[in-house]
Structure 1
Amino acid sequence: MIGLVLAAGAGRRLRPYTDTLPKALVPVGPAGIEGEPTVLDLTLGNFAEIGLTEAAIVVGYRKEAVYERRAALEKKYGLKLTFVENDKAEEWNNAYSLWCARDVLKEGVILANGDTVHPVSVERTLLAARGEGRRIILALDTVKRLADEEMKVVADPEHGVRKITKLMDPAEATGEYIGVTLIEGDAAADLADALKTVWESDPQQFYEHGYQELVNRGFRIDTAPIGEVAWVEIDDHDDLARGREIACQY
């Protein structure tokens, strides 16, 4: 199993940082200056801490900034890094971005969005949930109070995920998908096919719509509740301020 990070996004709501950097390389240290840890640093650190030795990074917008840091990141975290290029990163949404990594998925991955600040306990929770035929396991926050913008999930122990979408009454949801997934290698072909169906029908769809497509086809997707954990998806400057508070704890 290897790590996989989606780091191709532009993050336009985080300008001026993202005038020159992809969202995954925006500093999340307390001062927000160049050289401080980024979301990518924190995620790679988590991968290393759970014993992974390789990681793939999907790059697109301002990809040269990630390439420039490759040697330093490999040295710091002891990971062999490979890159997958998304040629539509500034035009299409991340269903296509994850599909670009379809060959990587065959190795079995822990997937992490490049804008999610979270502790290593999330990866450990996913690893602990492996087995008994589970092929895709979503990290789920069942504690947070939900609103309209979150990626909400309806799931139950007997059937797994039934629905995953932002377009849901928060009161119906079991919890929020936090952007971290364990994907076994034998699920790669099914997921890649579902993602292709999704982005071909609408290139602006999220990869979570690929999960829903799988569920609609009868594929079981499981969840692993992460407990009361401080984490944040960084979309704008308010999120970034929260990310800096959380990153200091880890």
Structure 2
Amino acid sequence: MIGLVLAAGAGRRLRPYTDTLPKALVPVGPQDAPESLTVLDLTLGNFAEIGLTEAAVVVGYRKEAVYARQAALEARYGLKLTLIDNDKAEEWNNAYSLWCARDVIAQGVILANGDTVHPVSVERSLLAARGEGKRIILALDTVKKLADEEMKVVAEPGRGVRRITKLMDPAQATGEYIGVTLIEPEAAADLADALRTTFERDPDLYYEDGYQELVDRGCTVDVAPIGEVSWVEIDNHDDLAKGRAIACQY
């Protein structure tokens, strides 16, 4: 199993940082500190802490900034990094971005969005949930109070995910998918096909819509509650401030 980070997004709501950097490289360490940590740093650190030795990063917008840091990141975290180019990163949504990594997924991955600040306990929760034929396991926050913007999940005991979408009454949701998934090798082909169907239907769809496609086809997508954990998806400057406050705890 290897790590996988989706880091192709532009993150336009985080300008001026993202005028020159992809969202995954926006600093979340102490403000204005030299070589401040980024979401990519934190995620690769988590991968290393659970014993992974390889990771892949899907890059697109301002990808040259990731290429420039590749050797330093490999040295810092003891990981062999493979960079995967997404040629449509500024045109299409992330269903296509994850599909670009389909060959890597065939090795089994822990996938993390490049804008999610979270502790290594999330990866450990996913690893602890493996077995019993589970092929895809989503990290689920069942504690946080939900609103309209979150990626909400309805899950049922013994059946896993029934719905995953932002377009849902928060009161109906079991919890929020936080952007971290364990994908076993056996799920790779089915997931790749579902992702292709998803972005061919609408290039603006999310990879979570690919998960819904799998569920609609009768495949099981499981969840692992992460407990009461401080984490944030960084979409704007308010989120960035929260991310900095959380990152210093880890």
TM tier relative to shorter chain: over 0.9
Whether 1:127 and 2:127 are equivalent positions in the alignment is yes
Counterparts of residues 40-59 of structure 1 (less than 5 Å): 40-59=40-59
Which residue does 1:217 correspond to in 2?
217
Displacement of 1:23 in angstroms is: 0.1
Unaligned runs of 5+ in 2: none
Q: Deviations over 1:113-155 (max 9, x none)?
A: 0000000000000000000000000000000000000000000
Which residue does 2:62 correspond to in 1?
62
Which residue does 1:202 correspond to in 2?
202
Counterparts of residues 4-83 of structure 1 (less than 5 Å): 4-33=4-33, 35-83=35-83
1:154–1:162: 8 Å Cα contact kept in structure 2? yes
Determine the C-alpha separation between the residues in 2 that align with 1:158 and 1:249: 35
The structure-2 alpha-carbon separation of the partners of 1:32 and 1:191, relative to structure 1 and needing over 3 Å to count, comes to farther
Unaligned runs of 5+ in 1: none
Which residue does 1:169 correspond to in 2?
169
Displacement of 1:30 in angstroms is: 2.0
Which residue does 1:149 correspond to in 2?
149
1:27–1:34: 8 Å Cα contact kept in structure 2? no
Displacement of 1:185 in angstroms is: 0.5
Displacement of 1:32 in angstroms is: 4.4
| AA matched with 1:239 | D
Determine the C-alpha separation between the residues in 1 that align with 2:83 and 2:206: 21
SS class of match (2:44):
helix
Q: Deviations over 1:31-58 (max 9, x none)?
A: 1455100000000000000000000000
TM-score, normalisation: structure 1: 0.99
Determine the C-alpha separation between the residues in 2 that align with 1:238 and 1:30: 15
| AA matched with 1:71 | A
1:139–1:177: 8 Å Cα contact kept in structure 2? yes
TM-score, normalisation: structure 2: 0.99
| AA matched with 1:221 | V
> How big is the alpha-carbon RMSD for the aligned residues of Structure 1 and Structure 2?
0.6
| AA matched with 1:62 | R
Task: Figure out how many residues of one structure are paired with residues of the other and give that number.
Answer: 250
SS class of match (2:138):
strand
1:107–1:185: 8 Å Cα contact kept in structure 2? yes
1:53–1:78: 8 Å Cα contact kept in structure 2? yes
Determine the C-alpha separation between the residues in 2 that align with 1:29 and 1:82: 25
